[in-house]
C-alpha cells in the first residue's frame, strides 16, 4: 500500500529517486497535456528539470505549440509512467513562468550544442528539410564561436503548480492502489480511490 506522506512532493521525490535507479533511461520523461482555445487536447513528452514545493518545472521554446496553448489556457495535466516500478503519478494544476534567473541558470547548465540548438530551432513550425536546420546550427555555432551562449528571449520554463497529485501503484488482479492528494489553500488532503 502507498504510504501517506504529509507532503506529496516528499512522496514524489522518493518515487522519483527509485525511478532514476530503475528506469533504463529518461526517468524524468513526463507527458504534458495542454488544450487549444477550443478545448481540443494536445499531448507530448517533455523532461522534468526540477521539482520543489512550488511545483514541477520543464523548459521549452516560447513559440512552440505547447507554449501557445499554455498562453490561452494555463491549466495542464502531467503523467509520469515508470514501467520498471509499475507506477504512475498524475499531476494537475495551473502553469506559471519560471523567473528569468531560473531560466538563465538552467540554460547555462545545458551542453553547448543544446544551447545552440535552442537558438536554431523554431520549434513546432514547418521545416523545409534537415539542411535548413543544419544551416541554422552552423550559423549560431559561428555566432557564438567564442564565449558564453546567451539564453534566447524566446526560450524559458514553466512551473506546474500542483492542485491535485495522484499516485498509482500496480497491484495483482488489477486491484491497483491509488492515493490522491488535493491542495486545500496551504494544506494537502488525501483520499484513496477505487482502482
Is 63 a member of any domain? yes
**Residues 110, 116, 119, CA angle at the centre, nearest 5°?**
115
The Cα–Cα gap between 147 and 92 comes to: 40
Q: Write the pLDDT tens digit of every residue in 48-104.
A: 999 999 999 999 999 999 999 999 999 999 999 999 999 999 999 999 999 999 999
Q: How far is CA 194 from the centre of its chain?
A: 27
Q: Is 2 inside any structural domain?
A: no
Q: Mind listing the pLDDT tens digit for each residue in 102-153?
A: 999 999 999 999 999 999 999 999 999 999 999 999 999 999 998 899 999 9
pLDDT above 90 (res 6): no
C-alpha cell at 1: 500500500
Structural domain contains residue 124: no
Does 160 reside within a domain? yes
How high is the pLDDT of residue 166?
A: 98
In a domain, 144, yes or no: no
Distance CA(120)–CA(140), nearest Å, equals: 7
Q: What is the DSSP letter of 114?
A: H
* Total structural domains within the chain: 1
The CATH number assigned to the domain holding 26 equals 2.30.110.10
Is position 47 within any domain? yes
**pLDDT at position 55, please?**
98
Kindly name the residue from 44, 151, 159, 174 that is annotated as catalytic: 174
- Residue 116 domain-assigned (yes or no): no
**Which residue range forms the structural domain that includes residue 52?**
8-108+153-192
**SS3 label, residue 62:** coil
90 is catalytic: no
Q: Which residue has the cell 520498471?
A: 84
Cα R_g (the chain), whole angstroms: 19
Q: What is the pTM of this model?
A: 0.94
| 135 neighbors 68 (Cβ within 8 angstroms) | no
> What are the percentages of helix, strand and coil residues in the chain, rounded to 5?
30, 35, 35
Amino acid at each position: 500500500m502507498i504510504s501517506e506522506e504529509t507532503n506529496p512532493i516528499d512522496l514524489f521525490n522518493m518515487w522519483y529517486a527509485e525511478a532514476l535507479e530503475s528506469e533504463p533511461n529518461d526517468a524524468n520523461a513526463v507527458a504534458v497535456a495542454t488544450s487549444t482555445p477550443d478545448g481540443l487536447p494536445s499531448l507530448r513528452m517533455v523532461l522534468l528539470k526540477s521539482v520543489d514545493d512550488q511545483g514541477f518545472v520543464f523548459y521549452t521554446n516560447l513559440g512552440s505549440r505547447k507554449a501557445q496553448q499554455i498562453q490561452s489556457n494555463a491549466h495542464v495535466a502531467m503523467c509520469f509512467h515508470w514501467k520498471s516500478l509499475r507506477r504512475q503519478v498524475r499531476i494537475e494544476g495551473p502553469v506559471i513562468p519560471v523567473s528569468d534567473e531560473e531560466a538563465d541558470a538552467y540554460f547555462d547548465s545545458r551542453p553547448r550544442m543544446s544551447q545552440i540548438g535552442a537558438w536554431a530551432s523554431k520549434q513546432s513550425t514547418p521545416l523545409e528539410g534537415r539542411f535548413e536546420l543544419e544551416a541554422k546550427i552552423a550559423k549560431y555555432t559561428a555566432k557564438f564561436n567564442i564565449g558564453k551562449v546567451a539564453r534566447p528571449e524566446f526560450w524559458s520554463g514553466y512551473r506546474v503548480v500542483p492542485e491535485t497529485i495522484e499516485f498509482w501503484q500496480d497491484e495483482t488482479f488489477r486491484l491497483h492502489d491509488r492515493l490522491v492528494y488535493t491542495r486545500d489553500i496551504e494544506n494537502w488532503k488525501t483520499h484513496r480511490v477505487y482502482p
